[in-house]
């Protein structure tokens, strides 16, 4: 069943003191109860965040994980380790992971498989670079990210997948895709899923938009029929802005 979701990707921000402060400020605010709210702090603060939110409906997600169960992978964190501290949701394939840590579609396919095998929810991110958009290659590029990174999963696994369309040129740049551009791509994604799986699966999956979402533009973007929420970076670091984005849903 398609849900409304607003997820805050804190990236490499917020030490433990700031994490507690931000979560306290968020808990004080009235948040739209129709929206599933997720925060994704850095690894070191996941367990503390989860405990701080024990009496709240806000969920905690990891920003990444390794595809292997365990082993000699210095600096990495596995699905079991996340689950051991109560984390059931993981963001995979964020454009910063793709660009700075060389995560390609083949690697992401493995991470997706592991997350689903471990019964976690995967927030799968994808989106084109500016040059793909200007050359008109954005639909092809997105289709190949989905096909190569995600479409190996079984139909039954889609219930544990959330999609996040994040055009790279709109992330952290202040430049937002227009609501029409977001809608156009989200509709294309549903069509692509319909062709590969079924219309039911395409209609049931939540597709978030990410890239410079702010209180001022959230309502218009979330108002589009195929946009089910947002993956928020910068504006998620301020409780007032994040709450305003959550409450931007009708």
Work out which of 172, 178, 216, 223 binds ligand PGA, going by CB under 6 A.
172
CB of 93 to ligand PGA, least distance (A): 11
Would you tell me the crossing angle of helices 179-196 and 138-149 to the nearest 10 degrees? 40
239 in Cβ contact with 26 (< 8 Å): yes
| Nearest by Cα to 155 from 198, 124, 126 | 198
CB of 200 to ligand PGA, least distance (A): 28
CA 186 – CA 208 distance, rounded (Å): 9
Contact region with ligand PGA (CB under 6 A), list: 33-41, 182-190, 198-206, 227-235: 227-235
Contact region with ligand PGA (CB under 6 A), list: 32-40, 63-71, 74-82, 229-237: 229-237
94 is catalytic: yes
225 in Cβ contact with 203 (< 8 Å): no
CB of 237 to ligand PGA, least distance (A): 9
Catalytic residue among 94, 103, 128, 138: 94
CA 65 – CA 162 distance, rounded (Å): 16
166 is catalytic: yes
Catalytic residue among 36, 96, 103, 166: 166
CA 177 – CA 212 distance, rounded (Å): 8
DSSP reduced 3-state for 149: helix
CB of 45 to ligand PGA, least distance (A): 18
Work out which of 19, 212, 217, 241 binds ligand PGA, going by CB under 6 A.
212
**What's the Cα-to-Cα distance from 232 to each of 1, 3, 64, 118, 195, rounded to whole Å?**
22, 16, 16, 26, 29
Contact region with ligand PGA (CB under 6 A), list: 21-29, 53-61, 98-106, 207-215: 207-215
CA 63 – CA 15 distance, rounded (Å): 15
Footprint of ligand PGA on residues 15-34 (CB under 6 A)? none
Contact region with ligand PGA (CB under 6 A), list: 38-46, 65-73, 166-174, 217-225: 166-174
Q: Quick one: 78 or 212, whose CB is closer to ligand PGA?
A: 212
210 interacts with ligand PGA by CB under 6 A: yes
Torsion on CA atoms 36, 37, 42, 46, rounded to nearest 10: -70
Residues that bind ligand PGA (CB under 6 A): 9, 166, 171-172, 210-213, 231-235
Active site residues: 94, 166
């Amino acid at each position: 069943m398609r849900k409304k979701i607003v997820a805050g990707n804190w990236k490499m921000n917020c030490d433990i003191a700031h994490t507690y402060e931000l979560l306290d400020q968020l808990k004080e605010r009235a948040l739209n109860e129709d929206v599933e709210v997720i925060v994704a702090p850095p690894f070191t603060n996941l367990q503390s965040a989860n405990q701080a939110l024990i009496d709240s409906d806000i969920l905690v997600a990891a920003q990444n994980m390794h595809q292997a169960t365990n082993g000699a992978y210095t600096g990495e964190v596995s699905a079991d380790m996340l689950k051991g501290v109560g984390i059931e949701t993981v963001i995979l394939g964020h454009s910063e992971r793709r660009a700075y840590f060389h995560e390609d579609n083949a690697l992401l396919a493995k991470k997706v498989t592991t997350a689903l095998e471990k019964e976690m929810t995967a927030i799968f991110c994808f989106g084109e670079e500016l040059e793909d958009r200007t050359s008109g290659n954005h639909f092809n590029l997105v289709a190949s990210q989905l096909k190569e990174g995600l479409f190996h999963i079984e139909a039954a696994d889609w219930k544990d997948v959330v999609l996040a369309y994040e055009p790279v040129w709109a992330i952290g740049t202040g430049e937002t895709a227009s609501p029409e551009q977001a809608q156009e791509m989200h509709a294309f994604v549903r069509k692509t899923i319909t062709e590969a799986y079924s219309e039911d699966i395409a209609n049931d999956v939540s597709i978030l938009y990410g890239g410079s979402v702010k209180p001022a533009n959230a309502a218009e973007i979330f108002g589009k029929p195929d946009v089910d929420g947002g993956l928020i970076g910068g504006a998620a670091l301020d409780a007032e802005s994040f709450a305003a984005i959550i409450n931007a849903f009708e």
